[in-house]
Amino acid sequence: MRSMEELVREEVALPSAPGEDEHPALALANSAVALPGGHTADLLGTPAQAEQWLTRRDLAPEGTGLAEVCTTQLRSLREQVRSLLASRVAGQPALPAAIAAINDAMTRVPTAPLLLWDQKTGPYRATPHPTTAIVEHALAVIAADAADLLTSPDAARLTACASPPCNRFLLKHGRRQWCSTRCGDRARAARAYARRTATE
């Protein structure tokens, strides 16, 4: 029996699903992977993991010092993006709250350093809380990408991995409906097993 830690490490090593490299929103949606046996490997499980996830995608510099509250914001955006992708794949109307969350993340980003006034040295401009600014910028980039993905021609290729219990989304190339060879192998094995038990 593999430990949870081993399972998480394995998922980190799982290759990106098709489309993730071009779309950070797709990568975010796929950052909590459902594994056989009812486990979930969350790549944003801790602030340190979330920071690594952001720096790997050039969405934050090394040493940002992500706090738990920032990590929660990222996980919350993930739920909204997943909800929108699922609606698009199912051809269903989106939840208004999910649309609002994307628009909010896109527009909340500060556009300019604020004007501050030091009692001795006088006026100056600065970003009051650099970590917050970095995180809000990352959230805005991901939200804008989600909006692009949903409205671009790529949206027609968006699909959910067809190998239960996998919950990843991908951009289809040809007939392939799996996010990875591992999921494809599992789906084929499950089909072969179903055929065997049906003929017995």
CA distance linking residue 164 with residue 189, whole number of Å = 12
From 78, 74, 47, select the one nearest 63 (Cα to Cα).
47
Candidates 1-9, 48-56, 124-132, 173-181: pick the segment binding Zn ion (CB under 5 A). 173-181
Is there binding between residue 70 and Zn ion (CB under 5 A)? Answer: no
Is there binding between residue 166 and Zn ion (CB under 5 A)? Answer: yes
Candidates 73-81, 123-131, 156-164, 185-193: pick the segment binding Zn ion (CB under 5 A). 156-164
Please, what is the minimum distance in Å from the beta carbon of residue 12 to Zn ion?
15
Please, what is the minimum distance in Å from the beta carbon of residue 75 to Zn ion?
20
How many Cβ atoms sit within 10 Å of the Cβ of residue 176? 13
**Binder of Zn ion out of 70, 105, 158, 161 (CB under 5 A):** 161
CA distance linking residue 146 with residue 121, whole number of Å = 43
Binding mask 105-144 for Zn ion (x = CB under 5 A): ----------------------------------------
Is there binding between residue 183 and Zn ion (CB under 5 A)? Answer: yes
Please, what is the minimum distance in Å from the beta carbon of residue 25 to Zn ion?
18
**DSSP states along 67-100:** -HHHHHHHHHHHHHHHHHHHHHHHT-PPPHHHHH
Please work out the total of residues on this chain that contact Zn ion, with binding judged by CB under 5 A. Answer: 6
Candidates 69-77, 105-113, 114-122, 164-172: pick the segment binding Zn ion (CB under 5 A). 164-172
CA angle at residue 110 from 139 to 95, to 5 degrees? 40
Give alpha helix (H) positions in 21-61. 24-29, 47-56
**Binder of Zn ion out of 179, 189, 196, 200 (CB under 5 A):** 179
Is there binding between residue 41 and Zn ion (CB under 5 A)? Answer: no
Please, what is the minimum distance in Å from the beta carbon of residue 74 to Zn ion?
22
Contact indicator for 93, 87 with CB cutoff of 8 Å: yes
Distance of CA 77 to the CA centre of its chain: 8
Q: Which is nearer to Zn ion, 75 or 186 (CB)?
A: 186
Q: Tokens for 102?
A: 């994307």
CA distance linking residue 12 with residue 82, whole number of Å = 19
The binding site for Zn ion (CB under 5 A) comprises 161, 163, 166, 168, 179, 183
